[in-house]
Structure 1
Amino acid sequence: MKKLIATPMVLWLAACTPSTPEPETTPVAAAPTAASADASTDASSPAPATVPATQVAAVVDDPAAVNQSIDEVLGDHVRYETVIRRLQQSVAARDAAAVAALVDYPFTTVRDGEPLRVADAEAFVRDYDRIVTPGIADAITKQKYSQLMVNYKGVMFGNGEAWVNGICRDNACKDVDVRVVALQPGT
């Protein structure tokens, strides 16, 4: 059984407005996230008042702070940054095979209100246009690295259109594979 990296301690980087609900397909327990400080993309709704600050991370416009947050919450930021940059480049180039190579399988998302299960990279490539919709592609390609949201569930693009997280490949979680774990319409 694979596990996602889930560290209970999350670095609170800056003041933020709690907002977007958890991604529909994130394979970890529910918890609130923080939205971008950019009001033009803030589709916020208040988070429950009982959420401890240690479970929410903020978005700041600082790549060093993002790297530090990834290091402290998820692990080696270099591995995450590599996957994040490859995802952005591959989506911008509409390279379905390259995007498919970054995804954790089996992969499930929701399209037109129905679950869409993707068994492997071959199926992902076949359904690429249904999975990576123009809105999702736009959120991925326009996301500034310095404004990524990081919490124990992973690294969030936009308003939750994409999530990247580490997948534990052993019981001690010493062997971690950084993958795309969610692609879905944002909130």
Structure 2
Amino acid sequence: MLFAHDTEASLMAAAELVNTAHEDPDALLDVTEFATRWGYTGRVTGDRDELDAVRAIRPRLESLWHADRDRIVAETNAILRETAALPQLVAHDGWDYHLHAVPPEADLAIRIQVETAMALVDVVRMDELGRMRVCAADDCEDVLVDLSKNRSRRFCSNTCSNRMNVAAYRARANATRRGDARAERPDRP
């Protein structure tokens, strides 16, 4: 494990949340299911206002995947300041001590932002921002968190990876059929 469990879970949840906005229709339909699946504790109303509030934070979170280190630090600090985050160690639901920075009664959108910001504190301190990436597929805007040991993850999913590998294979095969000299040195996708 590269990061603490809560850091990894917060980053992965934020990436999934951001990616729900890239689908048409919007893939975030059930905020209660999302919160449960990612282990967000505390109050979840599951109503339309909460869903809208969680959807509204996606652009802010997505901007973190496209920002440089200084911008990420500024935005992380802004989130922590705006929410009056006060980090505290808590243990619950079978998890050992980890950090929470807002009370469980805080709005879910606030808790998601704060937990993402707290995770980014670890990422910045460990100088691992390169693990926050945008999918390498030509036609995909999804974001990902590369938790592989060798920092080799380039695609958001096996679907994008397979699609790009098939496209590269077909391009090499077409070049070979045409007698293209580039077929001798194919670029890797």
Query: TM-score normalised to the size of structure 1?
Result: 0.31
Higher relative contact order (CA closer than 8 Å, sequence separation 6+): 1
Whose Rg is larger? 2
User: 1 or 2, which has the higher strand percentage?
Assistant: 1
Query: TM-score normalised to the size of structure 2?
Result: 0.31
User: 1 or 2, which has the higher helix percentage?
Assistant: 2
